[in-house]
Chains A and B, each alone.
Chain A
Amino acid sequence: EDQVTQSPEALRLQEGESSSLNCSYTVSGLRGLFWYRQDPGKGPEFLFTLYSAGEEKEKERLKATLTKKESFLHITAPKPEDSATYLCAVPNQAGTALIFGKGTTLSVSS
């Protein structure tokens, strides 16, 4: 069964305290891995797409990396405005829909 698992479920950081979020998947024949950010009461906002192992993408304090079975979202020197739920998703094996993990809720305090 195609599955996406994110850990941890929740993460509390102090401003400036770097950390990483994990997304592991079991879909074979990966057609891409997507990272989204979701703020309370809003829809998910697209951040990155990664397509092959070893690929990295960066945006401000965020860097996403991909291996054959998992992806990491590294947050460097986070600020309170980085507080949100981060979701990862992969297309199912048939490539017909996105399967989402349940997300990691990040809280950054000043």
Chain B
Amino acid sequence: KAGVTQTPRYLIKTRGQQVTLSCSPISGHRSVSWYQQTPGQGLQFLFEYFSETQRNKGNFPGRFSGRQFSNSRSEMNVSTLELGDSALYLCASSLEGGADIQYFGAGTRLSVL
């Protein structure tokens, strides 16, 4: 069974640009969650999508947004990039979300210059 796939693996952007990250969940999983991981803050929850609807949202500014498609694939968008957005962005999928076991992709490493 294929795991969670994230693309691209690495991205370099400059301040003010926008970026889109992609996540393909494990087949049959309907929930996709996104996390930001930085050395100082650790893993922080961004948002969760379930059946194409954003079900939960963490404490991040509106520049961070996402969507989920009918095949459960998800995208995350960050607009007007800031230096502080440099991080590893992780996607996790689970059957039902919430307190379910979440399986993570390898992440997208975003560097903002």
Find chain B residues with CB under 8 A from A36 CB. 104
With both beta carbons as reference points, the residue of chain A lying nearest to B98 in the complex is identified as A95
Report the number of A-B residue pairs with Cβ-Cβ less than 8 Å.
54
| A100 x B99 contact (CB < 8 A) | no
Residues 11-54 of chain A: 1 if any B CB is under 8 Å from the residue's CB, otherwise 0?
00000000000000000000110101000011111100100000
| A32 x B99 contact (CB < 8 A) | yes
| B107 x A31 contact (CB < 8 A) | no
| B101 x A87 contact (CB < 8 A) | no
Find chain B residues with CB under 8 A from A49 CB. 101
Residues 78-95 of chain A: 1 if any B CB is under 8 Å from the residue's CB, otherwise 0?
000000000101010001
Q: Is B43 an interface residue (CB 8 A)?
A: yes
| A97 x B4 contact (CB < 8 A) | no
Q: B25 to nearest A CB, angstroms?
A: 13
Q: Is B58 an interface residue (CB 8 A)?
A: yes
Find chain A residues with CB under 8 A from B6 CB. 43
A46-B107 in contact given A96-B56, A97-B45, A101-B42 (Cβ < 8 Å): no
| B107 x A95 contact (CB < 8 A) | no
With both beta carbons as reference points, the residue of chain A lying nearest to B33 in the complex is identified as A97
A97-B43 in contact given A34-B101, A45-B104 (Cβ < 8 Å): no
Q: A90 to nearest B CB, angstroms?
A: 9
Chain A residues with a Cβ under 8 A of chain B = 31-32, 34, 36, 41-46, 49, 87, 89, 91, 95-103
Given contacts A91-B99, A96-B56, 20 further A-B pairs with CB under 8 A are A32-B99, A34-B102, A36-B104, A42-B106, A43-B104, A43-B107, A44-B43, A44-B104, A45-B104, A46-B101, A46-B104, A91-B98, A96-B48, A96-B55, A96-B97, A97-B48, A100-B42, A100-B43, A101-B42, A102-B42
